[in-house]
Structure 1
């Protein structure tokens, strides 16, 4: 019987693997030796695969920017700008914006949304606002959509008061709509200030803008976030009284809200009431119930709901699998969690970096470091590159046994993560350096200290 050969990897995976394995100095020659037919779709997919290795991704992008026939698409530029800004290489990001202009393929409102979000998540909210205000200087005029985007970016990074001041200043100029008000209401709910969210709802009505189901669902979630279960229930009853067309999102919010608060029976009753009223649960509703059961009830009951969901023809998504895998690992069934990861792969759902991180973390916590590293090695082949959390998990695990060789591994991981564009916290640098010194690896510690100086971090707690 002839064994069937496994299909070759997708072209983007092959390119990404080639880039990861090549020496940076010879990358251009390596790519030229292969007859790849560069298309915007292929380039975008390669950049996505290299997402967690920013320096390699940018090197690949710059190589193709000098290609004699291929010209980067707008989306490829935006991927590269996002990667550069995530690495806090803001000068590179703005140089790419200039290059877009010279090629007349942008920048677009999305380009500025990316930059604003990266500044805001990097703790530079004022720079994010400046990006929005300077759009017209780069040939891209602000409109209501771009205004809503900057409000959303500020709210999601908890700079809600700054967003509200901007909202008050420009709401007349941009003629704010229900989306603008919903963003502001959600912002106040995110920082647990529901009275301010209700004030936004009141102003919305006063200005003649009809609240939408998004508005009501946002406020409902806000009550749950604050632990105000009675107020959430009263608000839900008020929605019914006003004959709002209560949707699946409303019920999903209720299922999750009551469940996370420990009211598992109430959560199940809401789920059953939803079905009784003729509303079909979504995958998100099932995900909410499964998560609640994993956290507050038992993973076995969560698995019963999972199988019921599959039996009814629902296709579990990445969130479903991640919730189940986390639940299994938390209850000590790590091997079963690994089986679920294989199951998701068999059903065409690719594990994410979060999937790997959960399994690696629990293996390390359980003292199964070798199994954790096996998964880490699997990630390194370009399937799903490790992120900052992955490295932090593994570096922390290297301190458990207090062995000299483990601390050397921690040092190597630190060097690798910096090489991939991740900036470790000062605490991580200090911890690894001190560990190496205490275990007699002073020379290696010196090498890391020199590397650290190139990262621009100042260490104060290390004595070599």
Structure 2
């Protein structure tokens, strides 16, 4: 533009600042804003909004507030996007009460409060665990001229399930369904998974059939949800039939699919079949799937095949807290406390941990077996892990 003799204006800089914000280039966004001021170009609301959004997202809320104060000092009138940016930023920086008070102030002052503002509030309250407040704002939205949309209902539904408000989550889904607000299959998958976890299989099957008849094309997430449902019911043949349908339809199974199948096979006691499924997974370059490996380690330990579990652990490229917890419990179960203490110390050295019940089982077992020196080593390792914990 400069070579062509075309001068930059506020719109040019707004676009550049927004681009820097999307790329997470906070310093570059600030430099561009300063460059605009030095060039004598007065920033408008969109420039301020883009810069505040960038600062909030990059974890600099105090700087974002200063930008808003500068906006007021320069007499630039905030718009609805400005307030939505501030609300979202307050939630992200943990100032939930301030965000709620600001929302009420906007309402009292007659300032712009549209569907985006309501969604921002509901989403922020849900992320903060304020389910009751989120549902109250949703009810308020229902009394306004703005109709709640799919984003609104889906946000509240997910929040209710996450924080144990199951009946309220199901009620929200039904409102979404009755209002014709379902734009895709995600709400179905969410509610089916929640029903399965509650053991309400009949209802889960009802909604799975409804999902299939909905007219939407099933994607990998939907197939995974249906496979998970069949595995939880112990209908492994149906689960593998769904897998075939999924792959014949041009969709590839992913790490989540394999985790579901391995877990289902292990729960039904088909450990050899689960091992074969893991081998097939490795052939698909999915050997980093910790969840699937953990399911098999746990199943081997519960069936007292601890040596096979140890061998599998050594083959794993990645291990986590659950891997070691399952193995330590398995070793204690068969009375191999010395070996359990060894793996517990390895776990702690790698920066992992195990459940308190596993630690107690190891120490109690070592004491009963008379391994006093090993008890001291375990206690020392636990103290060191606590000191090194960030």
Superimposed CA distance per residue, residues 237-285 of structure 1 (whole angstroms, 9 cap, x where no aligned partner): 4222xxx353221332344355555554554454444444431011111
Aligned to 2:241: 304
- Does 1:416 find its partner at 2:335? no
Aligned to 2:361: 431
Which runs of no fewer than 5 residues in structure 1 stay unpaired?
1-73, 76-106, 113-131, 155-162, 458-464
- Does 1:452 find its partner at 2:370? no
- Does 1:165 find its partner at 2:97? yes
Aligned to 2:187: 250
Counterpart among 305, 324, 327 of residue 394 in structure 1: 327
Counterpart among 178, 184, 189 of residue 238 in structure 1: 178
The answer to whether the Cα contact below 8 Å between 2:91 and 2:99 also exists between their aligned partners in 1 is yes
The answer to whether the Cα contact below 8 Å between 2:329 and 2:361 also exists between their aligned partners in 1 is no
- Counterparts of 2:375 and 2:225 in 1: how far apart (Å)? 46
Aligned to 1:285: 222
Cα drift, residue 357 of structure 1: 0.8
Kindly tell me the number of residue pairs found equivalent between the two proteins: 311
Superimposed CA distance per residue, residues 396-418 of structure 1 (whole angstroms, 9 cap, x where no aligned partner): 1111122xxx2111111122122
Superimposed CA distance per residue, residues 427-450 of structure 1 (whole angstroms, 9 cap, x where no aligned partner): 544432332222122122223333
Superimposed CA distance per residue, residues 322-377 of structure 1 (whole angstroms, 9 cap, x where no aligned partner): 11111111011111112112222223334421111111000100111111111100
Aligned to 2:14: none
- SS of equivalent to 2:240: helix
Aligned to 2:255: 318
- SS of equivalent to 1:315: coil
Q: How does 1:172-183 map to 2 (within 5 A)?
A: 177=117, 179-183=119-123
Aligned to 1:440: 370
- Counterparts of 2:301 and 2:175 in 1: how far apart (Å)? 44
Which runs of no fewer than 5 residues in structure 2 stay unpaired?
1-22, 25-53, 70-81, 107-112
- Does 1:338 find its partner at 2:275? yes
Ranked by relative contact order (alpha carbons within 8 Å, sequence separation 6 or more), the top structure is 1
Counterpart among 284, 287, 302 of residue 365 in structure 1: 302
- Counterparts of 1:438 and 1:316 in 2: how far apart (Å)? 48
- Counterparts of 2:342 and 2:385 in 1: how far apart (Å)? 16
Distance 1:420 1:147, change over 3 A: farther
Cα drift, residue 212 of structure 1: 3.3
Q: Normalising by structure 2, report the TM-score.
A: 0.65
The answer to whether the Cα contact below 8 Å between 1:299 and 1:327 also exists between their aligned partners in 2 is yes
- Counterparts of 2:257 and 2:89 in 1: how far apart (Å)? 29
- Counterparts of 2:86 and 2:370 in 1: how far apart (Å)? 56
Superimposed CA distance per residue, residues 277-302 of structure 1 (whole angstroms, 9 cap, x where no aligned partner): 43101111111111111113522222
- Counterparts of 1:422 and 1:232 in 2: how far apart (Å)? 39
Distance 1:210 1:327, change over 3 A: same
- Counterparts of 1:376 and 1:211 in 2: how far apart (Å)? 49
The answer to whether the Cα contact below 8 Å between 1:328 and 1:336 also exists between their aligned partners in 2 is yes
Aligned to 1:5: none
- Counterparts of 1:427 and 1:258 in 2: how far apart (Å)? 29
- Counterparts of 1:429 and 1:252 in 2: how far apart (Å)? 37
Distance 1:343 1:266, change over 3 A: same
Aligned to 2:5: none
Distance 1:439 1:279, change over 3 A: same
Superimposed CA distance per residue, residues 91-132 of structure 1 (whole angstroms, 9 cap, x where no aligned partner): xxxxxxxxxxxxxxxx986664xxxxxxxxxxxxxxxxxxx7
